[in-house]
Structure 1
Amino acid sequence: MRYGVVVEDLAVEVMAELPSDHARREVLGLIECVRRDPRAWPDVRDPGSWEEIRKAFGPRCWVQYMPHAGAIEVREIGWIG
């Protein structure tokens, strides 16, 4: 199954504020890895939560996302670089 990507508004804002093109490429590369195999990353939902929330880590970034309806929804992006 091929997944699409939906990006929440806050994650879009973070992408716009990344310090360089290299940082954006790194984040987009991680999102592409997640898109190809969304369930390969750990489920980090709180006990009792019905939403499947996963988190993936790159060398200097991370994304929190939800796989659903044939797509991934990127909820948060973090950058430590």
Structure 2
Amino acid sequence: MHGMVFEDLAVEVMAELPTDEARGEVLTLVEAVRKDPRAWLDVRDPGSVEEIREAFGARCWIQYMPHSGAIEVREIGWAG
């Protein structure tokens, strides 16, 4: 997947998702974020220089950092 980097924790969560459908839902959200990374909520702590954002799908969420032309997925959550 061009323009995406997954942190170790995010990779572990992806591997533990219960179905291919669940992985597909997360990857669909990641792709939507990659296309427009600044459309989602900025959740960084006051004074932080790291831009951290969160995006939500129907049963999943991701926390990521936008970089020029790419995103770094830090965490993935699954509520399904």
TM-score using structure 1 length: 0.94
Letter in 2 for 1:42: L
**1:51 match: secondary structure:** coil
**1:12 match: secondary structure:** helix
In structure 1, the partner of 2:63 is 64
In structure 2, runs of 5+ residues without a counterpart are none
Aligned residue pairs total 79
Identity between Structure 1 and Structure 2 (%): 78
**1:48 match: secondary structure:** coil
User: What's the C-alpha RMSD, in Å, of the aligned pairs?
Assistant: 1.0
Where do 4+ consecutive residues of structure 1 move more than 3 Å?
A: none
**1:34 match: secondary structure:** helix
In structure 1, runs of 5+ residues without a counterpart are none
For each residue in 1:33-64, what CA deviation from the matched residue of structure 2 results, as whole angstroms up to 9, or x when unmatched?
00000000010001111100000000000000
Letter in 2 for 1:55: E
Deviation at 1:70, TM superposition (A): 2.1
Deviation at 1:68, TM superposition (A): 1.1
